[in-house]
Amino acid sequence: MNLEFLTVSLLVVASPGTGAAVTIATGLASGTRTAVIAALGCTLGIVPHMLAAVTGLATLLHASALAFEAVKFAGVAYLLYLAWMTWRERGAMAITPDGKERTDGQVIRHAVLVNLLNPKLSMFFLAFLPQFIAPDDGAPTATMLQLSAIFMAMTFGVFALYGAFAARMRDRVLGSPTAMAWLRRSFAATFVALGAKLALTQR
């Protein structure tokens, strides 16, 4: 591990993306505690990608155009679903279709699915992490797991901060129907834009 790895990882984590958008929306809707749970879910959603890279499955995803496209468009479909649900919601965001606020388990499952359906994470672990493993490393798998754990810790920390900041604005925003309508539309547009970006992604 070196400063370059930490710097690049922080830039990747802090860059606006689906996980950050979901965590911010959750913070605005349900406060800091639920936002932290969403951040945890987004972090857990990284685990399958990490394990795929460690076991070599990410190589298969990278090599198979069909597998990559299948995961990619499943992710696009889910993002468009999020956009539609956000757009049509008339109350607070992060509410289930039947009008009830999500449970902790639902928040985690939702956040996990967001990152699970992002094939670029597997590409990240396959193409990025190996660059920081020395050719003479006697235990490359252990080193990769260590670097992955650091990346996940950074993801949780940054997303939790995003969510906490959004939660601080919650009372002010929820008290304004106009602001809520603007936010719903903005998040819906964000999910559509992220879906379009993912759809145009090449291996």
Q: What pLDDT is recorded for position 34?
A: 92
Residue 68 and residue 72: Cα distance in Å, rounded? 6
**CA–CA–CA angle 186, 114, 197 (5° rounding):** 60
Neighbours of 91 (CB within 10 A): 12
Residue with tokens 């710097």: 7
Q: What pLDDT is recorded for position 35?
A: 92
Q: What pLDDT is recorded for position 30?
A: 84
pLDDT > 50? residue 97:
no
- Which of 92-96, 129-133, 141-145 bottoms out in mean pLDDT, i.e. has the lowest? 92-96
For 134, phi then psi, to 5°, come to: -65, 145
Domain borders along the chain are 18-199
End-to-end CA distance of the chain: 27
**CA–CA–CA angle 76, 78, 80 (5° rounding):** 70
Residue 185 and residue 86: Cα distance in Å, rounded? 7
- Which of 35-39, 56-60, 81-85, 104-108 bottoms out in mean pLDDT, i.e. has the lowest? 56-60
Q: Name the band, by pLDDT with cuts 50, 70 and 90, for residue 150.
A: very high
> What's the mean pLDDT when you consider all of the chain?
76
pLDDT > 80? residue 21:
yes
pLDDT > 70? residue 177:
no
- Which of 71-75, 87-91, 164-168 bottoms out in mean pLDDT, i.e. has the lowest? 87-91
Average pLDDT over residues 72-91: 66
Digit-coded pLDDT (tens) for 23-63: 988 888 888 999 999 999 999 999 988 887 777 655 555 56
pLDDT > 60? residue 96:
no
